[in-house]
């Protein structure tokens, strides 16, 4: 901490303010300036367009205007006055989707005032993740420069953590960043021993029973068939879950407890998504039968068990694909490591998942699972112009992202990692006697 910062601390500057002063006063480390809205039509000309859902278009042209894709193909009429960008030899992909992240909710580990991932108490369905997002987080830049332009921001903690939101990783405010709020309700399935587990499940059941009773009374009041109810933000937030408008994302990995969670979701009549799923292959038939998709975390990790082969987690996506389980690859929630999403899917690609399947697992498959596929996940006329221009497959470590657009906005690709690279490259050049 600098002398100036120590003086501020002694002067009583609040913790959060001091943290932000330290963070953004650091030389050479800045938050990216959000891009201005698209001002006119843009045409990407002469590149290879990887639509994800409708094949590959060689030597194609893609036009977008007002943030949406308006034309795409090999014989496209370019609007008068459009900015034409020659992308010969390059590739265009939809922006990757990080389907499980604390980006914007977590800044500095060990400094509590910069962490807002969960609330006090076990039952917090009314917590909305997007309102807590810090748009100037340094992790936003490093995440999107890896190719992930959209993220599902997920609250954590307790039994019912709150409502996840889909965000574009660019904007001055959380409102500007929000692609779709209240995408899913996060439920942490209980762990622990038998008694602790049973008590935890009962706690979830009781919360849903109270929420359902509230909804019944509130629906009757809305229809003029009952008295007004006392507003309760917790249970009000769960009404869309019972109406089937949003799913519940249940975090669990053990086979027996996955079965319990599926049984519970069926009893409640809920649409369920499984988060985690390290052992989901052992209940693959159950997941397929009930059409429950998996948001698969941490592919790039060691096996769960001593007797498992070293590549057990690397080739799990390929085994799930062979079993017919719908899944997306989302990695871990860590904000500082959210830039590793391409390598999570890249490992799966190296261990049995085809390049097409691996790409889908971080684009359209995740988009379909969380219900944002009408906006993102593929290159399709009418969808958002949220896309990457690259030198190669975005899951290959050697590929470089040359340019990126979010809803047609030209994104600043300078982040903390690139600044450090440039800084210390210059240091080496000077120390080696360069001019």
Q: Looking at residue 118, what is its pLDDT? A: 79
The answer to whether 313 and 303 have CB atoms below 8 angstroms apart is yes
Which residue has better confidence, 34 or 215?
215
Q: Of 3.40.50.150, 3.40.190.10, 3.20.20.140, 2.60.40.10, which CATH number belongs to 96-376?
A: 3.20.20.140
Q: Looking at residue 435, what is its pLDDT? A: 60
3-state class of 257 per DSSP? helix
Q: Looking at residue 105, what is its pLDDT? A: 78
- The strands making up 248-252's β-sheet, listed across from edge to edge, are 96-101, 148-153, 160-168, 178-188, 248-252, 272-276, 294-296, 327-329
Prediction pTM value: 0.89
Q: Looking at residue 31, what is its pLDDT? A: 58
Q: Which helix (H) or strand (E) holds 289?
A: helix 284-289
The answer to whether 95 and 73 have CB atoms below 8 angstroms apart is no
Q: Percent of the chain at pLDDT above 70?
A: 92
Mean pLDDT of the chain: 90
What's the token pair of residue 236?
A: 């009000």
The C-alpha atoms of residue 268 and residue 370 are separated, in whole angstroms, by 19
Q: Token match 């082969």: residue?
A: 309
> What are the helix (H) ranges across 171-268?
174-177, 194-222, 233-236, 239-242, 255-268
The Cα-based distances of 209 to 49, 125, 216, 235, 277 in angstroms read 49, 13, 11, 10, 26
Q: Percent of the chain at pLDDT above 90?
A: 72
Q: What is the pLDDT of residues 327-354, one digit of tens each?
A: 999 988 777 778 889 999 999 999 999 9
What's the token pair of residue 38?
A: 């698209």
The answer to whether 385 and 64 have CB atoms below 8 angstroms apart is yes
Q: Which helix (H) or strand (E) holds 6?
A: helix 3-10
Backbone angles phi, psi at 405, to 5 degrees: -130, 140
Q: What is the pLDDT of residues 197-216, one digit of tens each?
A: 999 999 999 999 999 999 99
- Sequence-distant (6+) residues with CB within 8 A of 124 are 118, 155, 157, 158, 160, 161, 162, 234
The Cα-based distances of 174 to 168, 171, 211 in angstroms read 9, 7, 28
Looking at the chain, how many residues does it have? 435
Which residue has better confidence, 2 or 97?
97
- Which of 18-27, 46-55, 223-232, 251-260 shows the lowest mean pLDDT across its residues? 18-27
Q: Looking at residue 5, what is its pLDDT? A: 39
Q: Looking at residue 252, what is its pLDDT? A: 95
Over residues 163-187, the mean pLDDT reads: 95
**Per-domain residue ranges of the chain:** 31-94+377-435, 96-376
Q: Looking at residue 377, what is its pLDDT? A: 98
Confidence of residue 9 (pLDDT cuts 50, 70, 90): very low
What's the token pair of residue 247?
A: 């799913």
Q: What is the pLDDT of residues 243-298, one digit of tens each?
A: 999 999 999 999 999 999 999 999 999 999 999 999 999 999 999 999 999 999 98
Given a cut of 50, whether residue 433 has pLDDT beyond it is yes
Domain 31-94+377-435 of CATH type 3.30.460.80? no
């Amino acid at each position: 901490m600098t002398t100036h910062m120590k003086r501020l601390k002694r002067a009583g500057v609040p913790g959060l303010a001091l943290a932000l002063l330290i963070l953004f006063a650091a030389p050479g480390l800045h938050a990216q300036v959000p891009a201005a809205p698209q001002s006119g039509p843009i045409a990407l000309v002469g590149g290879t367009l990887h639509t994800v859902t409708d094949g590959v278009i060689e030597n194609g042209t893609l036009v977008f205007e007002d943030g949406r894709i308006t034309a795409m193909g090999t014989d496209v009429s370019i609007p008068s006055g459009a900015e034409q960008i020659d992308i010969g030899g390059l590739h265009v992909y939809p922006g990757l989707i990080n389907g499980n992240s604390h980006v914007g909710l977590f800044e500095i580990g060990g400094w509590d005032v910069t962490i807002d991932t969960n609330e006090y108490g076990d039952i917090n369905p009314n917590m909305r993740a997007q309102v807590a997002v810090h748009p100037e987080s340094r992790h936003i830049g490093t995440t999107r420069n890896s190719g992930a332009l959209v993220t599902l921001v997920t609250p954590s903690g307790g039994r019912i953590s709150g409502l996840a939101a889909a965000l574009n990783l660019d904007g001055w405010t959380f409102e500007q960043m929000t692609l779709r709020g209240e995408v899913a309700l996060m439920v942490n399935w209980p762990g622990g021993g038998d008694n602790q587990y049973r008590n935890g499940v009962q706690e979830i059941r009781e919360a849903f029973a109270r929420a359902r009773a509230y909804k019944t009374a509130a629906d009757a009041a809305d229809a003029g068939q009952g008295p007004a109810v006392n507003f309760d933000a917790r249970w009000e937030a769960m009404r869309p879950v019972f109406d089937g408008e949003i799913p519940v994302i249940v975090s669990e990995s053990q086979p027996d407890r996955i079965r319990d969670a599926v049984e519970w979701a069926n009893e409640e009549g809920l649409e369920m998504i499984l988060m985690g799923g390290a052992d989901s292959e052992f209940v693959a038939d159950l997941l397929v039968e009930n059409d429950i998709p998996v948001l698969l975390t941490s592919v790039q990790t060691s096996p769960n068990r001593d007797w498992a082969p070293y590549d057990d987690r690397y080739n799990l996506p390929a085994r799930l694909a062979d079993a017919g389980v719908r899944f997306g690859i989302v990695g871990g929630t860590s904000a500082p490591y959210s830039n590793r999403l391409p390598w999570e899917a890249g490992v799966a690609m190296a261990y049995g998942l085809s390049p097409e399947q691996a790409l889908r697992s971080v684009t359209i498959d995740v988009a379909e699972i969380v219900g944002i596929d009408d906006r993102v996940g593929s290159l399709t006329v009418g969808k958002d112009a949220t896309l990457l221009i690259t030198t190669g497959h975005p899951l290959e470590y050697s590929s470089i992202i040359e340019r990126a657009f979010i809803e047609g906005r030209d994104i600043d690709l300078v982040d903390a990692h690139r600044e450090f690279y440039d800084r210390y490259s210059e240091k080496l050049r000077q120390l080696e006697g360069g001019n």
